[in-house]
Amino acid sequence: EVQVVESGGGLVQPGGSLRLSCAASGFSFSTCWMTWVRQAPGKGLEWVGNINQDGSDTNYVDSVKGRFIISRDNGKNSVFLQMNSLTAEDTAVYYCVRDFRYFDCWGQGTLVTVSS
Amino acid sequence: DIVMTQTPLSLSVTPGQPASISCKSSQSLLERDGKTYLYWYLQKPGQPPHLLIYEVSNRFSGVPDRFSGSGSGTDFTLKISRVEAEDVGVYYCKQSTQHPKTFGQGTKLEIK
């Protein structure tokens, strides 16, 4: 079964950092782009960024550039989202997604709450 | 950035009746390879989104044929020929022609 499972969410203070992980299984992970999408409470979907197959290329939405870093470990079939300098506006459910330009496999998401 | 604008933002439909959602992009989504990278997703309550339509008009695996997509350039439409109760949720269009990838605001479908 093709699946991705996110972990690492939680409560963090403004200005703090958090690292999300996404474990993939059931497909050839090293051949796929991977994406992070977030959804603030009661709001729509926002693409956060993506990473290519070998980790040499990443792209980010402007609102997270310089604060968030996406990386991957193909040996562990995992992708990561390092989030720094967090603000209340980063509060959201973060989804890990397999990216073929279309997003065909989504995790259940992990909730990140930025609050003092 | 390409802005995706959906209309309406909500609609209430009687089961068995059709429904239509419009999505307009601020720039053409036609890429030099000849493909148009416009997608439709449905997020049912309490669930992550799932893919309905890829590249404007192609139904993803397992998607019922009552769902159809059409359009070109900057104007796109998702149609449901006969709405069923299980179709409730929020529909999003999304472009993958250019980074950053962007979603529409979402259209909430309710059943009358």
State the Cα–Cα distance between residues A24 and A4, nearest whole angstrom.
Answer: 4
* Per-residue pLDDT of chain A in tens (116 residues, 90 and over written 9): 999 999 999 999 999 999 999 999 999 999 999 999 999 999 999 999 999 999 999 999 999 999 999 999 999 999 999 999 999 999 999 999 999 999 999 999 999 999 99
Q: Do the Cβ atoms of B101 and A102 come within 8 Å?
A: no
State the Cα–Cα distance between residues A2 and B69, nearest whole angstrom.
Answer: 26
State the Cα–Cα distance between residues A89 and A82, nearest whole angstrom.
Answer: 16
What pLDDT, in 10s, does the model give residues B8-50? 999 999 999 999 999 999 999 999 999 999 999 999 999 999 9
What pLDDT, in 10s, does the model give residues A102-115? 999 999 999 999 99
Q: Please check whether residue B77 touches A, CB under 8 A.
A: no
Q: Which residue of A has its CA nearest to B99?
A: A59
Partner-chain residue, chosen from A47, A102, A107, that has the shortest CB–CB distance to B103: A47
The string over A24-49, giving b where at least 16 C-beta atoms fall within 10 Å of a residue's C-beta and e elsewhere, is beebebeebbbbbbbbeeeeebbbbb
Q: Please check whether residue B106 touches A, CB under 8 A.
A: yes
Disruptive mutation site among B90, B91, B96 for chain A (greatest number of A CBs within 10 Å): B96
Nearest CA to A36 out of A55, A17, A51 is that of A51
Across chain B, mean pLDDT equals 97
